[in-house]
Amino acid sequence: MTNPSLTKQEVGFRLKSCPEYGQASFAGIVTIALAVVLLLNSYQTATGTFKSGVLAVSVAYFVFALLQLAVWRLIRRDLVRAGEIKGSTRALGYVLMLSLLTANVFVATAAFQLVKRKKNAAYTLAVYALLTTVLVFAVTAFNLYKPYVANGFLPGMFLLIATAVLQLIALILTALFADRTVLPGWMAVVAGVLILTAATGNLFALFLGLLLIARLRDKGITSGSKLGDVVERLSRSSTSMLGLLFITFLLTLAITSLMTFDYSFAIDNNYSAILQSPSLTYPLGTDNFGRDLFSRIVFGARISLLVGLLSTLIPVLIGGALGAISGYYGRQTDNIIMRALDVLYAIPGILLAIAIIAAFGASTVNLILALSVGAIPTYARTMRANVMMVSTLEYVQAARAFGASDFSILFKHIVPNSVAPMIVKSSLTIGTAVISTSSLSFLGLGVEPHIPEWGNILKLGSAYLETHAFTAIYPGLAIIALVLSFNFLGDGLRDALDPKLD
């Protein structure tokens, strides 16, 4: 099968420089792993039989995994023989897209990348925007099995379908036209519509709209904006895009659930359905008060995202400002600010949060404040180091020579050029904040116990570990998935924003 005239290095280089090859192997391996996990879960030790539903899904995953690995083999053969992927192999991507029916985003995203020969950031973003909407639609559709649905369910579902259709059109248009150096003028309409659909919480649609507008305004004169560069690099890393996909999925679900989910399933006790196993009516089962775990986790996403984002945003702003002032003015200012923050730094975050909550009582607002205070020193240190580095650069001296004030030098010239590490750091610490939130809730120190926050759900579930372990497992999986997504995104952002590459 190998071409004898090629050296091992050449083959290795060809395989490495082809993104589809890596994506195919990644998707294949992850799908096999998921299939095995599902298979193990479908087996019931007590009766020695398999649960038919889970088993069917597992088989479907195995089928797509084998298909994906076959395609991977074909890609490898094409690359070794011809140095590029053949059209027939690419066409197989359309078959793999069917894996979306089993909610396998790994194979589906690899397939979308495979069918397009010349990829660009706009295409990738359009694919992910559409995927997000489709996934949210599918998850929301589980409500159909409930005894009744929310008032806004039908209009909400209709809006989701409309959004999906619009995004599909946008995907086809970007696939056809985004390769050109100068975009046609009517693309502005597409961009506008995409930004409108971003109201559902779809970050991909928002970024795509902004990217298209930036390219329209640029008219192909420059080589691209800095944002475009970052998006371009980020879109090449499939793990960070998958991370962003899950975050956007949760965000969209959190926003659309305002309309499409009935809150009463999550908070009202229903003693006729206590501790039910997962079924179509209750996809993840019910807890000891008969509340639907699926609805509770969807509502919990709202709290977790909100607390995670706020308790990162507040210290980024405060710590960033303190660090910037400290790094720019130096000397006594620096000394005083940094020594004061050293004190805060010496208390571990969770312990400080416990002390603050002990003093002011457990509530969501106190929790956000408690987590924020503990995170200020880290951000201040990061910002200070950056500002100190940037303020020695020539353009800062030039600005000073032109008589710019300290304030405008600091906030117009220095801070915008030193935020990149802050963004990376914050994306990595949102995950930590989510873990801290649920840990504190688990201890009874976080969100009020009646609110379905993931830590609270887990706390209730942990009492039924022996008999109904799923009540503790599912919320934990949700936490891990969200934190893992933020970590993947953070890693990807670090690579994309790494100043060393520039």
Partner 1 sequence: MTGHATARGNGFADRIAAVFRKMLFHPTYRLLLLLAGAPVNLIVYAVYLYRKAGHGYREAVEETTNRLLQSGLKDRLLQEAREQLVRKHRFFGQSVSEERTEREAAAIAARKFEAALKEQLAKRLAEDTRLQLSFSETYRSLAGNPLFLALSLVIGWPMYLLMALYANPYSKYIAERLFMTVLVIFGVAFIVFTILYISPMNPAANILGETATAEQIAAFNQMYGLDQPYLVQLWDTFRGILTFDLGKSFAGNENVTTAIANKFPVTLTLTVISTLIAVVIALPIGIISATRPNSFFDYTFMFIALLGLSIPNFWQGLIFILNFSIKLSWLPATYNPDNWLSAIMPIVVLGTGLTAAVARMTRSSTLEVIHEDYITTAKAKGLSRRQVLWKHAVGNALIPIITVIGLQFGGMLGGAAVTEKVFNISGIGSYIVDKQFIPDIPSIMAGVVYTAITISIVNVIVDLMYAFFDPRIRSKMKQY
- Distance between CA 170 and CA 173 in Å, rounded? 5
3-state secondary structure 171-190: HHHHHHHCCCCCCCCCHHHH
Q: In this structure, what is the dihedral angle of CA atoms 223, 228, 232, 234, given to the nearest 10 degrees?
A: 150
- Distance between CA 378 and CA 376 in Å, rounded? 6
Cβ atoms of residues 137 and 161 within 8 Å: yes
Stretch that binds partner 1, among 77-85, 144-152, 315-323, 481-489 (CB under 8 A): 481-489
Q: Is 358 in the site for partner 1 (CB under 8 A)?
A: yes
352/419 with CB nearer partner 1: 352
CB of 39 to partner 1, least distance (A): 18
Stretch that binds partner 1, among 133-141, 252-260, 419-427, 436-444 (CB under 8 A): 436-444
Binding test (CB under 8 A) with partner 1, winner from 354, 385, 399, 423: 354
Cβ atoms of residues 204 and 450 within 8 Å: no
Q: Is 348 in the site for partner 1 (CB under 8 A)?
A: yes
Give, as ranges, the residues between 439 and 468 that touch partner 1 (CB under 8 A): 439, 442-443, 445, 458, 462, 465-466
Q: Is 32 in the site for partner 1 (CB under 8 A)?
A: no
9/52 with CB nearer partner 1: 9
SS3 content of the chain, % helix, strand, coil (to 5): 75, 0, 20
Q: Is 339 in the site for partner 1 (CB under 8 A)?
A: yes
CB of 404 to partner 1, least distance (A): 11
Q: In this structure, what is the dihedral angle of CA atoms 438, 441, 447, 449, given to the nearest 10 degrees?
A: 130
Which DSSP string corresponds to 309-360? HHHHHHHHHHHHHHHHHHHHH-HHHHHHHHHHHHHHHHS-HHHHHHHHHHHH
Q: Is 148 in the site for partner 1 (CB under 8 A)?
A: no
Tell me the backbone φ, ψ of residue 116, rounded to 5 degrees: -95, 125
127/375 with CB nearer partner 1: 375
53/348 with CB nearer partner 1: 348
389/484 with CB nearer partner 1: 484
Cβ atoms of residues 71 and 89 within 8 Å: yes
Stretch that binds partner 1, among 98-106, 189-197, 214-222, 335-343 (CB under 8 A): 335-343
The two beta strands, 43-44 and 49-50, are antiparallel
Residue 10's contacts (CB-CB under 8 Å, 6 or more residues apart) are none
Stretch that binds partner 1, among 69-77, 96-104, 216-224, 344-352 (CB under 8 A): 344-352
Site residues (CB under 8 A) for partner 1?
16, 339-340, 342-344, 346-352, 354-361, 403, 431, 435, 438-439, 442-443, 445, 458, 462, 465-466, 469, 472-473, 476, 479-480, 483-484, 487-488, 491
